Amino acid sequence: EAQVTQNPRYLITVTGKKLTVTCSQNMNHEYMSWYRQDPGLGLRQIYYSMNVEVTDKGDVPEGYKVSRKEKRNFPLILESPSPNQTSLYFCASTSTSGRAVEQFFGPGTRLTVL
């Protein structure tokens, strides 16, 4: 089954404690993204990756890092989380084989930073 998995699904942490949210896809997609979803603000892209070792900033990259060492995985790293990073995070993997571009989303990670 084609899917995007994220872990953990829920996380409560404290300010300054480094954390990583993992994302994995089994569709051999080259393009992957991270979004955060906040009430009234919709989805905002944090980082994206066009392929292995190729990453770039999205609309709200401050306070986040990513890496893309292999095609299937695209972890999101918060080196020093702060309360304003409390949010719902989605990883997405994008099919680029056709012109339409379909994004497949993970189930989300709800992060609370105290």
Whether 56 contacts 65, CB under 8 Å: no
Whether 70 contacts 24, CB under 8 Å: no
Least Å from the CB of residue 1 to another protein: 14
Least Å from the CB of residue 90 to another protein: 6
Least Å from the CB of residue 37 to another protein: 8
Q: What is the contact surface with another protein in residues (CB under 8 A)?
A: 4, 31, 33, 40-43, 45, 48, 50, 90, 92, 94, 96, 99-108
Two tokens, residue 24: 């994995």
Would you say 48 or 74 has its CB closer to another protein? 48
**Exposed, middle or buried, 112 (CB in 10 Å: 0-12/13-18/19+)?**
middle
